[in-house]
Structure 1
C-alpha cells in the first residue's frame, strides 16, 4: 500500500516525578498503553464519542527544563505496535502489528490472509 508510514507517538506528562513514572513502568524499553476518550457535539447538536487507543514500546523519556514554581514536563516517545480509533463505537482505524490487523475504515484487509495461514 502507498502512504503507510512507521507508527510513532509522542506525548507529554506534566508534573510527574521519576518515582511516579517508575511506578507506572514508564521507562525506556517498557510497553505502554494510552487510552483517550473524548465527547463531541456537532453544529446540529448531535453528540458522539471518539476513543483512541495506542500501545507501544517507550523509546525515549526526556525531562524538559523547568522554571522555579513550574511543574516539569516529561516527554515520551514510543514505537507504536497497535493503534485504534473509534467514533460512536464504529472503527475508523485499527492497526495492530502483533495481531496482523489492518483496517483503514473499510474492513480488515488482512483477515482472509490470516485465515489462509490458520491464524484467528
Structure 2
C-alpha cells in the first residue's frame, strides 16, 4: 500500500520556455461539474448543466521579468503550459504527473520587494482546456473549444458531438 508522497522534482514549460528552479508553487482547479435545480415537481432534484470555469496559478521568483517579457505575454494573451512532476512515496513507488493547460493570462502580479530577496511573480490563468495524466493514464480532459468533457468516466459530450455532426 502506498505511503506518504513527496514531490521530488517539478518542471513547468510556459509557451516552450522551461521553468524549474524558479517555481515556488502552482495549482489548478480540477474540472468540476455544475448542476442546476430541477423544478416542477413535489420532489426536487438536480441535473448536470455543465462544468465550472477552470483556472490555474503559477507562483515563481523571476517569472515575469525573463519569461513573460521575453515572449511578449501580458494579461489577455493566449498561453500554453505543461506541468510535469515526479513524486515518490515512502515505499519507493515513483509517480509521474502531467497537466496540460491552454487558455489566457487573466492577471500577472508581482509581490512587494524586500531588499536582498527576489520578488514573487504570480501568473493567474483562465483555462479553455485542462488535461491531467497520472503515470500516462488520463485522469481528466476538458476542452471548452473542442467540446470535450471527460471528468474521469469517459467523454460525456461524445454522443452529443456525433448528434450535431462533429468528430
TM-score (norm 1): 0.86
List aligned pairs for 1:1-120, cutoff 5 A.
1-2=33-34, 4-18=51-65, 20-120=67-167
Q: 2: CA distance between counterparts of 1:30 and 1:62?
A: 15
Segments of structure 2 that go 5 or more residues without pairing to the other structure are 1-32, 36-50
Segments of structure 1 that go 5 or more residues without pairing to the other structure are none
- How many residues in Structure 1 have an aligned counterpart in Structure 2? 120
Please identify, of 90-99 and 34-43, the stretch whose mean Cα deviation from structure 2 is larger: 34-43
Please identify, of 96-105 and 63-72, the stretch whose mean Cα deviation from structure 2 is larger: 63-72
Deviations 1:9-33 (A, max 9, x none): 2222312453542212331110112
Deviations 1:38-72 (A, max 9, x none): 12234543323111112111111111111111111
Q: 2: CA distance between counterparts of 1:84 and 1:17?
A: 25
1:105 is displaced (CA, Å) by 0.7
Deviations 1:65-117 (A, max 9, x none): 11111111111112111111111111101111011110011111111111111
Which aligned runs of 4 or more in structure 1 are off by greater than 6 angstroms?
none
Q: Do the aligned partners of 1:36 and 1:51 also contact (CA within 8 Å) in 2?
A: yes
TM-score (norm 2): 0.64
Kindly name which structure, 1 or 2, has the bigger radius of gyration based on alpha carbons: 2
Q: 1: CA distance between counterparts of 2:67 and 2:95?
A: 33
